[in-house]
Amino acid sequence: MQVNIEELSAVERKLSFTIDATKIDAALNEAYRNLGKQVRMPGFRPGKVPRKLLEQRFGKHIGGEVGGQLISEAFDEAVEEHDLFPVSQPIVEQGTLAAGTPYEFSVTVEIKPSVAVEGWDGMDVEWERDEVTDEQVQAELDELASRNATFEAGDKDHKAAEGDLALVDATATADGLEDKTLEAYPVQVGAEAYGMPLSIFLAPKVVGKKVGGKGTVKGTIPEGALGDEWDGIEATVKFAVKEIKTQKLPALDDEFAQDEGHDSLDLLKADIRFKLGEQLRKHLRSHASDFALDKLGEMNPFDVPRGLVRAEADGMLQQQMRQFAGMGQKMPRISLENLGEDAQQQFLSQAEIMVRRALILEAVAEQAEVEVTDADLEEKIAEMAAEIGQQPAAVKGLLMKQGGMDGLKNRIREEKTVNTILERANIVEVEPRDHSHEEPAESVDADDIEAAAEHAAAHGEEGHVHGPGCNHD
């Protein structure tokens, strides 16, 4: 066998093969011998069907089968011999397979790039100064007080305002549906009531009403507000305010702190400050890690295989779909191609960042000789088990059953490599930045996914969903 490897790019190779005629003949002879033993044809005893007749009847099938086997064997041999690491589905250009002549074909494939990372040992890494302000502590205290608030009946002249709880009698009407009546339905005024869609729907019209005040709301009934048959229905809801309860916040004093398990308000504040600091330091460490990896990427540019990026993007999409499923949303299976162009590009852009970082960490891990020990594995499994309230043995057994141990090892190795980079870095302290506008790395607008899934359900599609805005005949 002869093979010529052409470098199309840093991450793409074209392998051109020539297989000797003698090997072609041997492979065809064996294939026809095996076929002859199985074929039953009128007028011929088993195993006695002439080769020429077999070629006439089954030549195309045998050629495809033998050609595919030869291509697979030759490709696997070349990959091993030349230390190539394919990361995408090979693209095969087949030649003509015929007895007595060499067989020529080519395979184009993306490979894992050879990444050499320089400058990681002792690099400058920006690390934001961790500072928990008095305002942040007070905001947490206020939120804690809000969760412990009680409600008292307001006077007759009180108008429903932010934080109040109004009890309303309401009647919903819509074409084709029987009227829906609710008595003393709670409406949290001026704020979204989690898990109470009708409260959110009515709240803007309840603001400013006194007891006995009436109002009408017209619009689309939100999902889960009045029952399945009302979801998404255009309806009219008339209501009357039956009672208004005003929010009474507890006094922020030592007694309140004791109810929360602390001896004094000062100790409660100290505990809040500590916990906020722990969360903040975790976030800032993550930002420092991102800074270091992005900087290493700029210092050490390299091409990233599209196949790896696409696989990572599809994995991110499936993870989001599992999250939807965990929230009880039933959706048909969709793939990256099913989304609109903007959503696809968002997934792909984020996936490229993740793949690039993973390749950088792998290269640094090899240079720094980062290893994952059995003790590391056991510690991580125990940590995972504690998070979900399971026994470590059960978690380990599940990982082994699902083939997840290699993935866990890679994750631990990456974490240890990040630790190594940061431990050896020259930390440059910088002022805190505002990260409130940033979205999580794997967050893609759920509306795009939901629109694609809804489209699939509406058209009875399974596993193939067009992106939002597509046209149909």
**Kind plus residue range of the DSSP H or E element containing 398:** helix 392-401
CATH of domain 2-110: 3.30.70.1050
Q: What is the mean pLDDT of the chain?
A: 86
pLDDT in tens, 215-227: 999 999 988 888 8
Reading across the β-sheet that carries 2-9, which strands appear in turn? 2-9, 12-19, 103-110, 91-93
Instruction: Give CA–CA dist 63/54, Å, rounded.
Output: 12
pLDDT in tens, 65-85: 998 999 999 999 999 999 899
Residue 88 pLDDT: 85
Fold (topology level) of 258-459: Trigger factor, domain 2 (1.10.3120)
Q: Which residues of 250-284 are buried (b: 16+ CB within 10 A; e: fewer)?
A: eebeeebbeeeebeebeebbebbbeebeeebeeeb
Residue 468 pLDDT: 30
Tell whether the model's pLDDT for residue 393 goes beyond 70: yes
Q: Report yes or no: 97 and 67 within 8 Å, Cβ to Cβ.
A: yes
* CATH 3.10.50.40 corresponds to the domain 150-248: yes
Q: What percent of the chain has pLDDT over 90?
A: 54
Q: Which residues of 16-38 are buried (b: 16+ CB within 10 A; e: fewer)?
A: bbebeeeebeebbeebbeebbee
Domain positions in the chain: 2-110, 150-248, 258-459
Residue 465 pLDDT: 32
Ramachandran category for residue 131: left, alpha or beta (phi over 0 → left; psi -120 to 50 → alpha): beta
Structure tokens at 102: 């060499």
Residue 217 pLDDT: 93
pLDDT in tens, 404-453: 899 999 999 999 999 999 999 999 999 887 766 665 544 555 555 555 55
Residue 435 pLDDT: 66
Q: What is the mean pLDDT of residues 107-114?
A: 91
Q: Report yes or no: 178 and 184 within 8 Å, Cβ to Cβ.
A: no
Residue 200 pLDDT: 87
Tell whether the model's pLDDT for residue 193 goes beyond 60: no
Q: Establish whether domains 2-110 and 150-248 are of one fold.
A: no
Residue 460 pLDDT: 47
Full DSSP string of 106-165: EEEEEB-------S-TT-EEEEEPP---HHHHHHHHHHHHHHT-EEEEPPTTPPP-TT-E
CA 372-375-376 angle, to 5 degrees, is 45
